[in-house]
Amino acid sequence: MTINKKVFTPSPLMVLICGSIILALALGTRQSFGIFLKPMSLDLGYSRETFSFAIALQNLVWGIAQPFTGWIADRYGASKALLIGAVAYVLGLIFMANSSSGIGLTLSAGMLIGIGLGGSSFAVVFGALGRAFDPSKRSLVLGIAGAGASFGMFAMVPYSRFFINYWGWFESLIVLAITCALMFPLSLGLIERKDPLEEKRDTKAALTEAFNHRDFWLLGLGFSVCGFQVVFILTHFAAFIQDNSLSLAVAANALAIIGFSNMFGSYLAGYLGGKYPKSYLLSLIFFLRAIVITVFIAMPITEISVYVFSAAIGLIWLATVPLTNGILASVFGVKYLSTLSGIVFVMHQIGSFTGGWLGGLLFDCTGSYQTIWITTIILSIVAALCYLPIKERSINDLKAELQQKSVSS
């Protein structure tokens, strides 16, 4: 007698909803760390470089973890990678709250939360979404999920500030740990059924194809600039605002505005990515970043200028993520999307490490953020030029064309 067991498989809509909430929790919490810099540094005697290094290391570990968690997601399903990420994230927040030295901060905020982000962020979630939805809807769906991540930034920054104001930074981190524990049940919404043997045979060939493709590296180089800019601003913008005689409330509002504005920016990027070449859109984003940053630092720093800058930079903040993953899916397919996205994200996080740490180092050396702001402008132009030659041609189509030419000749 044969017993058929009904296996739970979430619908594409459930994958989108659960994946978007997970991104909102993971990335929204991470985006709020900038407002912990001053209170933790003052209470525990850290220098800004010490805190900056921990957050910079977090981004580097996040990047290094992404190919491995992406491979786990591609081979065993996204839910397995998400469970690993959730455990590390929650423990990292608890240990961060209890860290009393630079080493403790580095191990908790840097190492553990970095691993947690590796298992609960874009590569894992976007890989599952890319496999769940039809190619005609993929760019828009990735944009919607990116908007979910931005909503997390909009919501979690004031959420964290509320508890810092009324209870203190320690209690706020514990509340964040409890909140992020919601990722455990949400991971069930991204259950996938995988064939481990099939993945074992083909992963090496997929990686070889990507590593030998020029546009793969151009995409990663441009993405590294994105990481440099985003993490510098996330880590230091709140302190920069307060250094210019504005309040912590203004700083927190500014970070929240970036998140709110990027809800629209990410959705718009996903929508436009389905209609226009994604590489050109990415190039435009970085040209716009150069202009926005230049205008901001050239003007007096006031509450109004901070809010206008936050709204403008927010529109083009995480808009790079759905477009980058969309190009990867178009060129290399979705079967190994989490793995390839994770590898490109390593390059993003190398830039993130550099931007976060260098911002603190240069401030401690010069007493100003001016040099690092100018560096972000120059790098914007470099990234914009990197994206222009990228072509969204499927690698299978390219191989077929080369084979046809070989036969003809």
Q: Per-residue pLDDT tens for 44-77?
A: 887 777 887 888 788 788 888 888 888 888 888 8
Give the range among 19-28, 158-167, 329-338, 339-348 with minimum mean pLDDT. 329-338
Over residues 140-144, the mean pLDDT reads 86
* Confidence (pLDDT) at 293: 96
What pTM, to 2 d.p., does this model score?
0.76
pLDDT at 262 over 70: yes
Q: What is the distance of C-alpha 6 from the center of its chain? A: 36
pLDDT at 1 over 50: no
* Confidence (pLDDT) at 179: 95
| 41: confidence class by pLDDT, cuts 50, 70, 90 | confident
* Confidence (pLDDT) at 6: 54
Whether the CB-CB separation of 143 and 273 falls below 8 Å is answered with yes
Domains along the sequence of the chain with CATH: 12-408 (1.20.1250.20)
* Confidence (pLDDT) at 267: 85
Q: How far apart are CA 4 and CA 35, in angstroms?
A: 53
Whether the CB-CB separation of 132 and 197 falls below 8 Å is answered with no
* Longest Cα–Cα distance in the chain: 79
Strand, coil or helix: 1: coil
* Confidence (pLDDT) at 201: 45
Give the range among 6-20, 87-101, 109-123, 180-194 with minimum mean pLDDT. 6-20
For all residues of the chain together, what is the average pLDDT? 85
Write the pLDDT tens digit of every residue in 284-294.
Answer: 999 999 999 99
Query: Which amino acid makes up residue 85?
Result: G
| 295: confidence class by pLDDT, cuts 50, 70, 90 | very high
* Confidence (pLDDT) at 385: 95
pLDDT at 394 over 60: yes
Per residue, the 3-state secondary structure of 316-356, as one string, reads CCCCHHHHHHHHHHHHHCCCCHHHHHHHHHHHHHHHHHHHH
| 249: confidence class by pLDDT, cuts 50, 70, 90 | confident
Long-range Cβ contacts of 132-139 (<8 Å, 24+ apart)? 132/12, 132/15, 132/16, 133/12, 133/16, 135/329, 136/274, 138/274, 138/326, 138/329, 138/334, 139/270, 139/271, 139/273, 139/274, 139/278, 139/322, 139/323, 139/326
pLDDT at 244 over 60: yes
The residue with tokens 């296996």 is 7
Write the pLDDT tens digit of every residue in 168-215.
Answer: 889 999 999 999 999 999 998 888 765 554 445 466 777 788 888 888
